[in-house]
Amino acid sequence: MHRILVVDDDQNVRLVYREMLNEAGYEVLESESGNETFEILNREPIDLVVLDIKLRSESGLDVLQKITRQFPELPVILCSAYASYQDDYTSWLAESYIIKSTDLEELSREVDRVLQKREAKLKGNIEAGSRKYA
Protein backbone atom coordinates (compact mmCIF):
# COMPACT_ATOMS: atom_id res chain seq x y z
CA MET A 1 0.00 0.00 0.00
CA HIS A 2 1.35 3.40 -0.99
CA ARG A 3 1.81 6.00 1.74
CA ILE A 4 0.98 9.62 0.97
CA LEU A 5 1.82 12.60 3.14
CA VAL A 6 -0.71 15.44 2.82
CA VAL A 7 0.77 18.79 3.91
CA ASP A 8 -1.79 21.57 4.35
CA ASP A 9 -2.44 23.99 7.19
CA ASP A 10 -6.21 23.71 6.65
CA GLN A 11 -7.58 20.79 8.64
CA ASN A 12 -10.69 20.55 6.44
CA VAL A 13 -8.59 20.19 3.29
CA ARG A 14 -6.51 17.46 4.94
CA LEU A 15 -9.70 15.66 5.96
CA VAL A 16 -11.19 15.77 2.44
CA TYR A 17 -7.92 14.63 0.83
CA ARG A 18 -7.47 11.87 3.41
CA GLU A 19 -10.97 10.51 2.81
CA MET A 20 -10.56 10.56 -0.97
CA LEU A 21 -7.12 8.95 -0.86
CA ASN A 22 -8.17 6.33 1.72
CA GLU A 23 -11.11 5.38 -0.50
CA ALA A 24 -8.66 4.95 -3.39
CA GLY A 25 -6.66 2.50 -1.26
CA TYR A 26 -3.83 4.72 -0.05
CA GLU A 27 -2.53 5.13 3.48
CA VAL A 28 -2.48 8.82 4.39
CA LEU A 29 -0.39 10.71 6.90
CA GLU A 30 -0.96 14.40 7.57
CA SER A 31 1.11 17.44 8.41
CA GLU A 32 0.26 21.10 8.84
CA SER A 33 3.78 22.57 8.76
CA GLY A 34 7.22 22.18 7.27
CA ASN A 35 8.75 21.12 10.58
CA GLU A 36 6.15 18.43 11.11
CA THR A 37 6.61 17.31 7.50
CA PHE A 38 10.32 16.67 8.00
CA GLU A 39 9.73 14.89 11.31
CA ILE A 40 7.45 12.49 9.44
CA LEU A 41 9.73 12.14 6.40
CA ASN A 42 12.70 11.31 8.62
CA ARG A 43 10.89 8.51 10.44
CA GLU A 44 8.31 7.11 7.98
CA PRO A 45 8.63 5.67 4.47
CA ILE A 46 6.56 7.93 2.21
CA ASP A 47 5.83 7.38 -1.49
CA LEU A 48 4.37 10.79 -2.36
CA VAL A 49 3.84 14.23 -0.82
CA VAL A 50 0.80 16.37 -1.64
CA LEU A 51 1.88 19.87 -0.62
CA ASP A 52 0.00 23.15 -0.26
CA ILE A 53 1.94 26.25 -1.34
CA LYS A 54 0.58 28.65 1.28
CA LEU A 55 1.20 27.32 4.76
CA ARG A 56 0.66 29.47 7.86
CA SER A 57 4.23 29.64 9.06
CA GLU A 58 6.18 29.19 5.82
CA SER A 59 6.07 28.92 2.08
CA GLY A 60 5.27 25.53 0.62
CA LEU A 61 7.80 26.37 -2.10
CA ASP A 62 10.52 26.55 0.58
CA VAL A 63 9.35 23.19 1.93
CA LEU A 64 9.44 21.81 -1.63
CA GLN A 65 13.05 22.92 -2.05
CA LYS A 66 14.05 21.24 1.20
CA ILE A 67 12.24 18.03 0.26
CA THR A 68 13.97 17.86 -3.12
CA ARG A 69 17.36 18.42 -1.48
CA GLN A 70 16.91 15.87 1.30
CA PHE A 71 14.72 13.33 -0.52
CA PRO A 72 15.50 13.74 -4.24
CA GLU A 73 13.61 10.60 -5.29
CA LEU A 74 10.40 11.56 -3.44
CA PRO A 75 7.76 12.99 -5.79
CA VAL A 76 5.73 16.02 -4.74
CA ILE A 77 2.41 17.24 -6.09
CA LEU A 78 1.83 20.92 -5.38
CA CYS A 79 -1.76 21.91 -4.62
CA SER A 80 -2.69 25.55 -4.55
CA ALA A 81 -5.69 27.79 -4.93
CA TYR A 82 -3.38 30.16 -6.83
CA ALA A 83 -2.50 29.44 -10.45
CA SER A 84 0.09 32.23 -10.45
CA TYR A 85 2.65 30.07 -8.62
CA GLN A 86 2.95 27.81 -11.67
CA ASP A 87 5.22 30.46 -13.17
CA ASP A 88 7.60 30.35 -10.20
CA TYR A 89 10.67 28.34 -11.17
CA THR A 90 10.69 26.67 -7.76
CA SER A 91 7.32 25.06 -8.49
CA TRP A 92 8.97 23.24 -11.39
CA LEU A 93 10.73 21.04 -8.84
CA ALA A 94 7.39 19.35 -8.20
CA GLU A 95 6.21 16.39 -10.22
CA SER A 96 2.85 18.07 -10.76
CA TYR A 97 0.88 21.23 -9.99
CA ILE A 98 -2.84 21.06 -9.21
CA ILE A 99 -5.23 23.97 -8.73
CA LYS A 100 -7.38 23.25 -5.67
CA SER A 101 -10.98 22.54 -6.50
CA THR A 102 -14.04 20.93 -5.00
CA ASP A 103 -13.70 18.37 -7.81
CA LEU A 104 -11.01 15.99 -6.58
CA GLU A 105 -10.85 14.00 -9.81
CA GLU A 106 -7.76 15.79 -11.13
CA LEU A 107 -5.89 15.25 -7.86
CA SER A 108 -6.89 11.58 -7.85
CA ARG A 109 -5.65 11.10 -11.42
CA GLU A 110 -2.37 12.87 -10.71
CA VAL A 111 -1.73 10.83 -7.56
CA ASP A 112 -2.26 7.62 -9.54
CA ARG A 113 -0.09 8.85 -12.43
CA VAL A 114 2.79 10.02 -10.24
CA LEU A 115 2.81 6.83 -8.18
CA GLN A 116 2.75 4.65 -11.30
CA LYS A 117 5.64 6.64 -12.73
CA ARG A 118 7.57 6.26 -9.46
CA GLU A 119 6.95 2.51 -9.40
CA ALA A 120 8.15 2.14 -12.98
CA LYS A 121 11.26 4.16 -12.20
CA LEU A 122 12.01 2.13 -9.07
CA LYS A 123 11.41 -1.12 -10.95
CA GLY A 124 13.74 0.06 -13.70
CA ASN A 125 16.42 0.88 -11.15
CA ILE A 126 16.07 -2.53 -9.52
CA GLU A 127 16.23 -4.33 -12.88
CA ALA A 128 19.19 -2.25 -13.98
CA GLY A 129 20.93 -3.01 -10.69
CA SER A 130 20.30 -6.75 -10.99
CA ARG A 131 21.67 -6.83 -14.56
CA LYS A 132 24.74 -4.96 -13.41
CA TYR A 133 25.71 -7.80 -11.07
CA ALA A 134 24.50 -10.73 -13.18
Identify the CATH number of the domain in which residue 122 sits: 3.40.50.2300
Is the pLDDT at 130 greater than 50? The verdict is no
Q: Look at the chain and report how many structural domains it folds into.
A: 1
Q: Are 29 and 5 in contact (CB under 8 A)?
A: yes
Quick: pLDDT tens for 104-118.
999 999 999 999 998
pLDDT confidence of residue 133? 38
Average pLDDT over residues 35-48: 96
Residue 62 CA to residue 40 CA, distance in Å, equals 17
Range of the domain at 17: 3-132
Return contacts of 91-99, CB within 8 angstroms, 24+ apart: 91/53, 91/61, 91/64, 93/64, 93/65, 93/68, 94/51, 94/64
The side-by-side arrangement of strands in the sheet containing 96-99 is: 27-31, 3-7, 48-52, 76-80, 96-99
Count CB neighbours of 126 within 10 A. Answer: 10
